[in-house]
Amino acid sequence: MDCDLKIKYYLKASLGADRIANCVAAYTIYKKDCLVIDFGTATAYNTVSKQGVFQGGLITCGIQGLHDILPAHLKLLNKKTKGGNQNTLALTTSQSVKSGLYYSVIGVIEKIKSDMQKNLNKKLYIIATGGGANFIPNLKRILNDIDVNLTLKGLAIIYQRKIKGRNK
């Protein structure tokens, strides 16, 4: 598929359309070296250069998956609760679970962001997307932008380019 993105990926056919759409949108909208973090069923981290080159990425367990790993009797976390105090010295089981999940997600984001920037030898503009981004309190403090519709925007951009290509 011609999506105006140069893709550095060994098995291009195995690269998900959502990952491509996210990178097309990031490249087109932000015009910067970007790391797109898509909080869906899984959490996908993908990089795209300001020149429009998909540079790779990785996929980790999604927020729901992390939550589901906990035994049923520990599922005291209300997934839809936004905000709240994230404390490494929680004093209730409920707060311990909530804080543990929060720090699990934030810690992984920070480490992956740091390593990707080091590997690429450049600062990345960090964008979160996907429905799960709404469930992470204070996410904006470690990212540059949150756009839960980035995938849809990428699909619309690709579609528009296809239509223009047909009309030539």
Question: Domains in the chain, please, with CATH?
Answer: 6-163 (3.30.420.40)
- Active-site hit among 2, 4, 18, 68: 18
Name the pLDDT band for 82 (thresholds 50, 70, 90).
Answer: very low
pLDDT digits (tens, 9 = 90+) for 102-147: 888 899 999 999 999 999 999 999 999 998 888 788 888 899 999 9
* Contact (CB, 8 A) for 126 and 2: no
- pTM for the structure as a whole: 0.85
Q: Write down the residue that tokens 């480490």 correspond to.
A: 111
| Residue 18 annotated to the active site | yes
pLDDT at residue 81, as a whole number:
41
Q: Phi then psi for 135, rounded to 5 degrees?
A: -95, 0
pLDDT at residue 88, as a whole number:
77
CB-based burial of residue 48 (10 Å sphere; 0-12 exposed, 13-18 middle, 19+ buried)?
Answer: buried
